[in-house]
Amino acid sequence: MKDEEKIVELLSFYRHDWLNDLQLLMGYASMGKMDKVRDKIEAAIEAAKMERRISNLNMSKTALWVISFNWYHSNFRLTFSVFKDYGNLSMFDESIHKQAVEFVQVLERCSDEMEMYEGTFLIQPFNEERTEVILSFQGKFSEEESLRSALDTPDLENVIVEKEEEEIMTCSMSWICDSK
C-alpha cells in the first residue's frame, strides 16, 4: 500500500471513531444525560493528551502502531498511557516497533479468535535518566508451554509470561530507554 493510501485509510478509521463519539455525545445530550456528556468529553481530552505525548516522543513507527492498533486487530484491544513528556526516544523507535509487532503476531497465533485480549502500552519513568516501555496483554491463550515456546525467540527479549488464574495469562515485554 502506498503511503498516501495508508494515510487516507488511517484518516478514515480516525474519522469513523470520532463520528461515533460525536453521535454518543448527541444521544446523551438529547436525553439530558449531561454527566455522560461531560465524562465522554473528558475521556476524549485525555485520549488526545496521550496521543500528543506519544507523538512527541519522536517514535513515529511505534506511535502510529499504538494509536492505530485497535483498527487492525479484531480480538485484541490496546490502551496506552504516557505518564509525562520524556523527550526524544527516536533511537529506540525501530527496535521497539519491530519487537512489538512480532510479539503481537506470536500472541495472535496462540490466541482464540473468539476470545478478547486486553492490552496496555505504558511509557513510564524507570529512574531519573531512564524510561520504561511496557507492552502487555492478558487473556486465555493456548497451552502455557506452547505460548512460552513461541515467545522464546532471539528477536523477543525481556518477555514475561505469568499465569493469573485458570486459563488467564499475562504476557509482557519491556524495554528500558535512556531518556537523556
Write down the pTM of the prediction: 0.84
Q: What angle do CA 4, 5, 6 make, to 5 degrees?
A: 90
pLDDT of residue 179: 61
Torsion over CA of 121, 123, 127 and 128, rounded to 10 degrees? 180
In sequence order, what are the residues at sequence separation of 6 or more whose Cβ sits closer than 8 angstroms to the Cβ of residue 140? 112, 115, 167, 168, 169
Report the pLDDT averaged over residues 140-155. 85
CA 98 to chain centre: 14
The SS3 assignment for 161 reads strand
Q: What does the alpha-carbon distance between residue 18 and residue 110 come to, in Å, rounded to a whole number?
A: 32
pLDDT of residue 75: 94
pLDDT of residue 1: 67
Report the pLDDT averaged over residues 14-18. 83
C-beta separation of 90 from 58 below 8 A: yes
> CATH assignment of 3-178, given 3.30.360.10, 3.40.50.10360, 3.30.365.10, 3.30.565.30?
3.30.565.30
Question: Where residue 180 falls among pLDDT bands split at 50, 70, 90?
Answer: low
Higher pLDDT, 143 or 150: 150
Query: pLDDT tens-digit profile of 35-61?
Result: 988 998 898 888 888 888 888 889 999
161 forms beta bridges with 171
% of the chain at pLDDT higher than 70:
98
Query: Cα Rg for the chain, rounded, in angstroms?
Result: 18
Q: What does the alpha-carbon distance between residue 7 and residue 16 come to, in Å, rounded to a whole number?
A: 14
Helices 3-30 and 34-55, interaxial angle, to 10°?
Answer: 160
Report the pLDDT averaged over residues 63-76. 93
Domain range annotation of the chain? 3-178
C-beta separation of 138 from 95 below 8 A: no
Higher pLDDT, 48 or 107: 107
In sequence order, what are the residues at sequence separation of 6 or more whose Cβ sits closer than 8 angstroms to the Cβ of residue 60? 90, 93
